[in-house]
Structure 1
Amino acid sequence: MFTPCLEDFEDFQVDTDKFIDGGDTIVVLGTFRGMHRTSGKPLDVPFAHVCELEDGRMTRFIDYLDTVLWQETYEA
């Protein structure tokens, strides 16, 4: 899932700030960080990951983020 990010950004990081335990649903809040290899613009985009579990295994993963902020890092 993160392979394109590793290719497009130097020092790509997924910094987690908070884990919210909702039983079979876990929410992870954090920030994607890095430097775009072509545009040279910094990536600093907050995210929320929602993970749904069943029998201890992830059955669904949803990534919420500001796509405008993300796209702006690609623009020269």
Structure 2
Amino acid sequence: MGLSTMPTNLEIIRVTYEGSSEENGKHLRAALAPDAHWTEAAGFPYAGTYVGPEQIVAGVFRRLATEWEGYSAKPHTYLADGDRVAVFGLYSGTYRKTGKAMTASFAHLYRLKDGKIASMEQYVDSHQVQQALR
């Protein structure tokens, strides 16, 4: 065997995007530190900072799953630098209450500590998202 079988920070983040929604959720839950800080951008419907896996799942992911049809975050670029991983991509989905679809560019900046996600900060073209909410 190799010297280390620990996944890299990039691998830890990549598996939270590239499977089915169920697989991604399972991998994300496993990767979150107990006190992880997850910040959704101002202008995004779930704006604010959520602390810990329960708040993050309830405040962000459960709402994405129930308030949107076909919501996805498709990455096109990953950049890793030490304890930070940045992910760039496109959100898409249809807001159930209005029936309006959106596509918006995003960037997620993760900071990892000891193989766990310590924080995530979202940057998003929130104008595109807001258009779907109206």
- Common fold: TM-score over 0.5: yes
Q: What amino acid sits opposite 1:6 in the alignment?
A: A
Q: Secondary structure at the residue paired with 1:39?
A: coil
Measured in 2, the distance between the counterparts of 1:2 and 1:64 equals 16
Aligned to 1:30: 89
Q: Secondary structure at the residue paired with 1:70?
A: helix
Identity, % of aligned positions = 25
Superposition misfits of 4+ residues, deviation over 3 angstroms:
none
Aligned to 1:45: 104
Q: What amino acid sits opposite 1:67 in the alignment?
A: S
Measured in 1, the distance between the counterparts of 2:116 and 2:131 equals 35
Shift of 1:71: 1.1
- Superposed CA RMSD: 1.1
Measured in 2, the distance between the counterparts of 1:59 and 1:51 equals 8
Matches within 5 A, 1:57-76: 57-75=116-134
Q: Secondary structure at the residue paired with 2:133?
A: coil
Measured in 2, the distance between the counterparts of 1:67 and 1:34 equals 13
Measured in 1, the distance between the counterparts of 2:122 and 2:69 equals 21
The TM-score, its normalising length taken from structure 2, stands at 0.53
Unaligned runs of at least 5 residues, structure 2: 1-59
Unaligned runs of at least 5 residues, structure 1: none
Q: Per residue, is there more strand in 1 or in 2? A: 1
Range with bigger deviation, 42-51 or 63-72 = 63-72
Measured in 2, the distance between the counterparts of 1:29 and 1:39 equals 27
Q: What amino acid sits opposite 2:72 in the alignment?
A: Q
Shift of 1:37: 1.1
Give a deviation string over 1:2-48, Cα, whole Å, max 9, x none: 22111121111111111101120000001111111121111201100
